[in-house]
Structure 1
């Protein structure tokens, strides 16, 4: 979306974003992960340092999420889907924002050689927050909105630290803006944090179980002997991950739920047949997949399994078992919807031997 300030103001359209970068020596970005974060309850918090500002409101992750706040192991089945590279979130109250921003502006203005376009940009940035200098759909502020301290917060951009593309991470490049407690952010800020964005972040951090498929025969099988594969319901159940953000006068949360729907088998060699032929074993009525092998089933074709047609020799075949998960989300205010299916696969080594004939 093209902001009006980029078309109405011939100088301010460029000067103000430039001034923000100059004053803060870097873009706003997500807070670093605390060193003591563990397991299924992690958070990304705020603050500031010499490289710029951090969004002060923290996003807390709980449930089945990766340890240390890192990216989870879910792979989207939709190659075009990606988590948000950046967003806008509550940053500081008016008095704290004034203290931070005014000090940064004054410090940069007094730096040697700070003139020309950079100096003019800093002057416009100062006018924007001190002298009510605004444009079209973006109002200016009088004395950093200090008279409304406690009634709202300035919001700022947050970079997704797991987004590898620097340009995408920096694409939320609007100046910090004010939002009253209880109000929604102005509509022109389409990347302002929402339950849907939180759901996507929960998806990104979700950790699916590292489930090993049961095989019969287990580990070592024979050429032309069907190998049965199955997953019991007890070890194959839905998982949830929740992302939440809390700030004065503002709170949102979203829970992303993944339910297993199918198992896909890839035998690790072309010399094999999968059962069914597609290699995709669908979920049963009791939420299990496949069927456990039992005595008396030797002459049957398994509903889920593999028949190897050639020995693995002195090595093994890498059997890839990939589970597909149906993923949906719910969030604050009754929001919710579907998300792209997720997949996660594991590899198991299978030894295939020739059937030894007996000469009489």
Structure 2
């Protein structure tokens, strides 16, 4: 299971290798920092540029702690976005950043590029040479004076890689639009332009899911033909909510994961599960299963397993406890709640089963 990054705000790993870009005007990077001008990196090799940008998205809520993990979507054909476009600079900020370019990696733009690449395109509306000289996605669109004359009508946008999905990002095919001008309250017509749904899907990746801790009765070593009662306490089944917000535009989304069922795989064909489906639902009281009591003598557990063979040859059986979570989101633009694909979190246990002439709890 992929480890979860910690912290309430998206943080940057200093010195991380930047994404390779092929346009002098693409501000696309790791999406890995929460403050402007606070990343290093970037370089140039012929016509290939490297850059490192950051996301301004702020993450708060149940992002997890030590030992927590992340959800694996049940729908294997769906994943949170690998990248998106988001606003990152005002016209005034962009002008200052470009005019400060001196041939070194610019911390504000997070790109290493000749100053002329930016002044030609974004100040002087003269993009033709760059569109021709770089084997890139650059479309040849130019701008006048950094759009200072219409500064109150929009912000500059760039592409950011989801820090949880770097391995899924395909350079040259995902989020390859150069830095462009757009209204932060009227999302540009690009599939990856950030809105509350994109934020909700990003928050999905950030939810910290605690280890699926089950209780067994009897505890420890099990006995052949004696039912093992399995349960989870209410405190371990609390919903988890993460909020993703883009302060520069005021767009936000809250994504909530709520446990709904525990599936038991005993790890042996010589076993009977309870219920027969192996799926133990969360009760109205918020608990899964129940501990054994003396009043339950002779009863089948509401959630559990009965092994019919010992492990003296195998050492142990691997019992897998998979907790299924339903996921939904609410956003500033779309209301809600709206569904997202459910997720699952698995934990395995080594179960030793012994033979005994007497059944004693």
Question: Would you say same fold, with TM above 0.5?
Answer: yes
After superposition, the Cα gap between the structure-2 partners of 1:338 and 1:306, relative to the gap in structure 1 and judged at 3 Å, is same
Contact 2:28/2:158 (8 A) holds in 1: yes
Task: Count residues with an aligned counterpart.
Answer: 309
2:123 to 130, 138, 155: 130
Consecutive unaligned residues of structure 2, counting only runs of 5 or more, are 1-20, 43-50, 105-112, 129-138
1:79 to 76, 79, 95: 76
Contact 1:45/1:59 (8 A) holds in 2: no
Contact 1:32/1:46 (8 A) holds in 2: no
Consecutive unaligned residues of structure 1, counting only runs of 5 or more, are 1-19, 34-43, 109-118
Q: Residues 237-267 of structure 1, C-alpha deviation per residue, up to 9 Å, x if partnerless? A: 21111111111xx111111111111110011
1:144 to 139, 146, 150: 146
TM-score w.r.t. length of structure 1: 0.76
Q: Determine whether 1:172 maps to 2:175.
A: yes
After superposition, the Cα gap between the structure-2 partners of 1:138 and 1:281, relative to the gap in structure 1 and judged at 3 Å, is farther
Highest Rg: 1 or 2? 1
TM-score w.r.t. length of structure 2: 0.75
Whole-Å separation in 2 of the counterparts to 1:82 and 1:65:
18
User: In angstroms, what is the RMSD of aligned CA positions?
Assistant: 3.2
Q: Residues 28-50 of structure 1, C-alpha deviation per residue, up to 9 Å, x if partnerless? A: 113435xxxxxxxxxx4443544
Give the aligned partner of residue 238 of structure 1: 239
Q: Residues 55-88 of structure 1, C-alpha deviation per residue, up to 9 Å, x if partnerless? A: 4x521111111459xx942111000111101101
Map 1:1-360 onto structure 2 (within 5 A).
Answer: 21-23=22-24, 28-33=28-33, 44-47=34-37, 49-51=40-42, 52-55=51-54, 58-66=56-64, 72-101=69-98, 107=103, 126-132=119-125, 140-149=142-151, 152-163=154-165, 164-167=167-170, 171-180=174-183, 183-187=185-189, 189-247=190-248, 250-313=249-312, 315-336=315-336, 337-356=338-357
Contact 1:83/1:200 (8 A) holds in 2: yes
After the TM superposition, which of the residue ranges 313-322 and 266-275 deviates more from structure 2? 313-322
After superposition, the Cα gap between the structure-2 partners of 1:348 and 1:223, relative to the gap in structure 1 and judged at 3 Å, is same
Q: CA deviation at 1:231?
A: 1.8
SS, match of residue 234 in structure 1: helix
SS, match of residue 147 in structure 2: helix
Q: CA deviation at 1:169?
A: 8.5
Q: Which has the higher helix share?
A: 1
